[in-house]
């Protein structure tokens, strides 16, 4: 492909050892859960990776691959601990080379960041200190065992080389085994592998040296590091600046500079929309200043302008675009063609990828790209006989349904009762740092315009319209409406719904009380505190519905506290008066003064038209919040499925 873009640095070639890359774009290793339960490569994983290579990325790095069964971090993690894996692993480079890309495999040992079912027994670690995340007992590795694992990494690298991978990446970041040896937070040994900084460096240096000796002088050996653990008792950037030249001396061909461990507050390793784009590049720059090998920068980078600037200003030599590869596998080709407006954006919501993997124990996807992980099923076929499909509602589910149905060749019309599309995305995108969510709506509307799909705004569908129009099929994406509890005073003039507040339909004066501490309530509090309005959130449950264990949840709680807001848990509201809210907490009646009261107490599906369609015998399917109020992920995926199958 000719370089016609305005990003000459991003699309310049680069050589790492024996590997020649056509551009500086990297897809970093991201866990998917797509492998087979016997840790072999599945067709689903191959098709997913090949689709990313097809999109133009110079280097694809596969997800974690265990060098030892005891080092597995999850049940179906890929394996490379014996020669039997070579045959199945070789399918990955074959597929990516066919698409014109290069591929590295990430070699991994979880150390203490695992659980017995995955590791096949008690996890092992530098010291017998349980993981903060798993809180599982672990066994301190003996010197003999340390040497065995060093050899495991070297042997795994040879297998990767034999299988046809262009490079290997040693996972020395995010709190896994190599990182654990480096950190005083997890390594409290008193022998030659612990104690002093020099001794804590030893294991990683020996792993690199053994790997280099095994694969020869030219084969690329990349190491991914955490430049700063950002955790109490952990190491800092200054320590990694001292280590980096030693990594190069030991045989590292490139250094991939990440940040944080999984127990770092706010989840910087996989930062949410609350963290500025490119926030970690200054650390990559600091490492680059002290080494002579290429440095890969990473950290919530989706914008090609940020990538181009980072390379041109020598912050990094290559840029990892992680979750953006999930949202739009073609985005590198689109950048090269200056087709930026057609890039489906990653909003860094984390719902479909890391949180789905780690919290729901399900395979990864993308909230905004329902085709992610489904590539093995093949693209929906074009219909032989197009149907006249009506989509009722232009929220996330409706827009997604219309995109999928029109792609199949149906004649699609969208009916939206508001004067603009977006549905609840209109209010969702209003709190601080969530403006990026609206970019998906804009993208979806552009795609529909290009397909000739008409959105009929200010058009509330009625029974008469269905009877007269006689559509062949209807996708009901009418969303949900807010509900409240039967609290005395709930209908007072100074009581408003959270969505009305976020949309600016009502003026709020402080102090304000928000009833409900789910995401809607917490984000509304964030919105008001950002405007300087004193706010308290009252929640009936004893524990916060939004935990601080997710990245976004952590920042919501942090900003609430920093902004002077209050979160009152276990508060059952009994009455709303003109200037106060009365509630019972721990069997004690309390009253707090508030000028405004805002409800964020849940929603109920809008299904009033579904009975009409049944009576008219019109084929229909209900999707998104109209089916059941849930997240954006479910809305977009259900809409897509309905549009693909109709």
Helices 197-215 and 143-163 pack at an angle, to 10 degrees, of: 40
Domains 14-376 and 495-601 alike in fold: no
Q: Measured between alpha carbons, how far is 477 from 392 in angstroms, rounded to an integer?
A: 5
The size of the chain, in residues, is 646
pLDDT of residue 379: 86
Query: Do 316 and 285 touch, CB atoms closer than 8 A?
Result: yes
For 298: left if phi > 0, alpha if psi spans -120 to 50, otherwise beta; the answer is beta
Say how many CA atoms lie within 13 Å of 588 toward its Cβ: 5
Q: Measured between alpha carbons, how far is 545 from 348 in angstroms, rounded to an integer?
A: 21
Q: What is the pLDDT of residues 175-222, one digit of tens each?
A: 999 999 999 999 999 999 999 999 999 999 999 999 999 999 999 999
| pLDDT of 4 over the 70 cut | no
Q: What is the pLDDT of residues 469-512, one digit of tens each?
A: 999 999 999 999 999 999 999 999 999 999 999 999 999 988 99
Query: Do 443 and 368 touch, CB atoms closer than 8 A?
Result: no
Within 8 A by CB and 6+ apart from 198, the residues are: none
Architecture field, domain 380-482+604-645: 3-Layer(aba) Sandwich (3.40)
Q: What is the pLDDT of residues 390-417, one digit of tens each?
A: 999 999 999 999 999 999 999 999 999 9
Q: Measured between alpha carbons, how far is 425 from 429 in angstroms, rounded to an integer?
A: 6
Q: What is the pLDDT of residues 309-330, one digit of tens each?
A: 999 999 999 999 999 999 999 9
Q: What is the pTM of this model?
A: 0.95
Q: What is the pLDDT of residues 447-468, one digit of tens each?
A: 999 999 989 999 999 999 999 9
Say how many CA atoms lie within 13 Å of 24 toward its Cβ: 26
Q: Measured between alpha carbons, how far is 32 from 350 in angstroms, rounded to an integer?
A: 13
| pLDDT of 423 over the 90 cut | yes
| pLDDT of 626 over the 50 cut | yes
Helices 396-407 and 436-450 pack at an angle, to 10 degrees, of: 30
Which residue is it, tokens 């290793």? 29
For 114-141, give one letter per residue: b (16+ CB within 10 A) or e.
Answer: bbeebbeebbbbbbebebbbbebebeeb
Within 8 A by CB and 6+ apart from 289, the residues are: 241
pLDDT of residue 380: 85
Q: Measured between alpha carbons, how far is 633 from 637 in angstroms, rounded to an integer?
A: 6
Query: Do 80 and 156 touch, CB atoms closer than 8 A?
Result: yes
pLDDT of residue 422: 96
At 280, list the tokens: 């970690």
DSSP state at residue 376: G
| pLDDT of 243 over the 70 cut | yes
Annotate 303-331 with DSSP letters as a single string. Answer: -HHHHHHHHHTTS-SEEE--THHHH-TTH
Q: What is the pLDDT of residues 577-600, one digit of tens each?
A: 999 999 999 999 999 999 999 999
Q: What is the pLDDT of residues 509-541, one digit of tens each?
A: 889 999 999 999 999 999 999 999 999 999 999
When computed from its CA atoms, the radius of gyration of the chain, rounded to whole angstroms, is 27
- Fold category of 495-601 in CATH: FAD/NAD(P)-binding domain (3.50.50)
Query: Do 127 and 140 touch, CB atoms closer than 8 A?
Result: yes
For 542-560, give one letter per residue: b (16+ CB within 10 A) or e.
Answer: eebebeeebbbbbbbbebb
CATH class of 14-376: alpha beta
Within 8 A by CB and 6+ apart from 178, the residues are: 109, 170, 171, 172, 203, 204, 207
Q: Measured between alpha carbons, how far is 82 from 89 in angstroms, rounded to an integer?
A: 11
At 493, list the tokens: 């003039």
Round the average pLDDT of the chain to a whole number and report it: 96
> What residues are labeled active site?
176
| pLDDT of 2 over the 90 cut | no
Question: Closest Cα partner for 292 from 257, 258, 244, 256?
Answer: 244
Annotate 422-434 with DSSP letters as a single string. Answer: -TTHHHHTSSTT-
Beta-strand relationship, 14-16 and 19-21: antiparallel
DSSP state at residue 70: G
Share of the chain above pLDDT 90, in %: 94
Query: Do 300 and 260 touch, CB atoms closer than 8 A?
Result: no
| pLDDT of 5 over the 70 cut | no
Tell me the β-bridge partners of 445.
Answer: none
Question: Closest Cα partner for 179 from 210, 207, 151, 209?
Answer: 207
Within 8 A by CB and 6+ apart from 611, the residues are: none
| pLDDT band per the 50, 70, 90 thresholds, residue 104 | very high
pLDDT of residue 510: 86
Within 8 A by CB and 6+ apart from 360, the residues are: none
User: Is residue 548 helix, strand or coil?
Assistant: coil
- Domain coordinates in residue numbering, the chain: 14-376, 380-482+604-645, 495-601
Q: Measured between alpha carbons, how far is 531 from 515 in angstroms, rounded to an integer?
A: 19
What's the Cα-to-Cα distance from 276 to each of 271, 280, 281, 307, 550, rounded to whole Å? Answer: 9, 9, 11, 14, 17
Say how many CA atoms lie within 13 Å of 290 toward its Cβ: 17
Secondary element (H or E) of residue 584: strand 580-585
Q: What is the pLDDT of residues 426-446, one digit of tens each?
A: 999 999 999 999 999 999 999
CB atoms within 10 A of CB 361: 10
| pLDDT of 3 over the 70 cut | no
pLDDT of residue 122: 96
pLDDT of residue 1: 43
Q: Measured between alpha carbons, how far is 329 from 55 in angstroms, rounded to an integer?
A: 5
């Amino acid at each position: 492909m000719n370089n016609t873009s305005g990003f000459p640095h991003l699309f310049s070639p680069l050589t790492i050892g024996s590997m020649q890359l056509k551009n500086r774009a990297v897809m970093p290793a991201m866990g998917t859960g797509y492998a087979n339960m016997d840790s072999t490569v599945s067709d689903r994983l191959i098709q997913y990776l090949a689709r990313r290579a097809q999109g133009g990325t110079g280097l694809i790095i596969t997800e974690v691959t265990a060098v030892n069964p005891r080092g597995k971090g999850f049940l179906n993690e890929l394996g490379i601990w014996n020669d039997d894996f070579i045959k199945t692993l070789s399918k990955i480079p074959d597929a990516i080379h066919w698409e014109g890309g290069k591929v590295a495999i990430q070699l991994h040992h979880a150390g203490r960041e695992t659980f017995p079912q995955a590791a096949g027994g008690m996890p092992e670690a530098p010291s017998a200190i349980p993981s903060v995340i798993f809180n599982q007992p672990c066994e301190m590795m003996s010197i003999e065992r340390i040497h065995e694992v060093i050899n495991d990494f070297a042997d795994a690298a040879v297998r990767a080389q034999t299988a046809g991978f262009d490079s290997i990446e040693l996972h020395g970041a995010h709190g896994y085994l190599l990182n654990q040896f480096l950190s005083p937070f997890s390594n409290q040994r008193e022998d030659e592998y612990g104690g002093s900084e020099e001794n804590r460096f030893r294991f990683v240096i020996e792993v690199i040296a053994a790997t280099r000796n095994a694969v020869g002088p030219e084969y690329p050996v990349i190491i991914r590091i955490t430049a700063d653990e950002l955790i109490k008792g952990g190491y800092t950037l200054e320590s990694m600046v001292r280590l980096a030249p030693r990594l190069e001396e030991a045989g590292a061909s490139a250094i991939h500079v990440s940040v944080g461990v999984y127990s770092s507050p706010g989840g910087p390793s996989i930062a949410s929309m609350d963290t500025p784009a490119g926030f970690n590049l200054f650390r990559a720059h600091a490492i680059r200043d002290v080494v002579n090998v290429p440095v890969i920068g990473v950290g919530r980078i989706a914008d090609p302008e940020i990538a181009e600037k980072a390379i041109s200003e020598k912050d990094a030599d290559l840029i990892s675009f992680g979750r953006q590869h999930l949202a739009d596998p073609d985005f590198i080709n689109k950048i090269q063609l200056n087709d930026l407006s057609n890039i489906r954006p990653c909003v860094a919501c984390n719902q479909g990828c890391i949180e789905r993997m780690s919290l729901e124990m399900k395979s990864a996807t993308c909230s905004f790209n329902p085709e992610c992980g489904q590539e093995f099923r093949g693209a929906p076929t074009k219909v032989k006989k197009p149907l006249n499909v009506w989509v009722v509602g232009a929220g996330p589910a409706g827009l997604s349904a219309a995109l999928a149905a029109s792609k199949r060749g149906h004649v699609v019309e969208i009916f939206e009762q508001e004067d603009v599309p977006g549905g609840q995305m209109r209010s969702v995108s209003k709190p601080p740092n969530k403006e990026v969510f609206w970019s998906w709506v804009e993208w979806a509307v552009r795609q529909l315009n290009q397909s000739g799909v008409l959105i009929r705004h200010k058009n509330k569908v009625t029974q008469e319209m269905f009877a007269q129009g006689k559509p062949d099929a209807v996708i009901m994406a009418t969303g949900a409406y807010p509900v409240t509890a039967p609290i005395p005073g709930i209908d007072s003039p100074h009581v408003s719904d959270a969505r009305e507040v976020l949309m600016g339909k009502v003026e709020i004066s402080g102090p304000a009380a928000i009833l409900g501490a789910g995401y809607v309530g917490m984000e509304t509090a964030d919105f008001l505190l950002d405007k300087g309005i004193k706010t308290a959130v009252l929640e009936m449950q004893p524990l916060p519905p939004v935990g601080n264990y997710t990245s976004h949840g952590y920042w919501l709680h942090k900003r609430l506290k920093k902004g002077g807001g209050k979160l009152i848990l276990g508060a059952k509201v009994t009455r709303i008066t003109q200037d106060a809210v009365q509630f019972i907490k721990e069997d004690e009646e309390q009253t707090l003064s508030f000028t405004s009261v805002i409800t964020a107490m849940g929603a109920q599906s809008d299904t009033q038209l579904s009975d009409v369609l049944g009576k008219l015998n019109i084929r229909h399917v209900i999707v998104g919040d109209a089916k059941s109020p849930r997240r954006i992920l479910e809305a977009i995926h259900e809409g897509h499925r309905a549009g693909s199958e109709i």
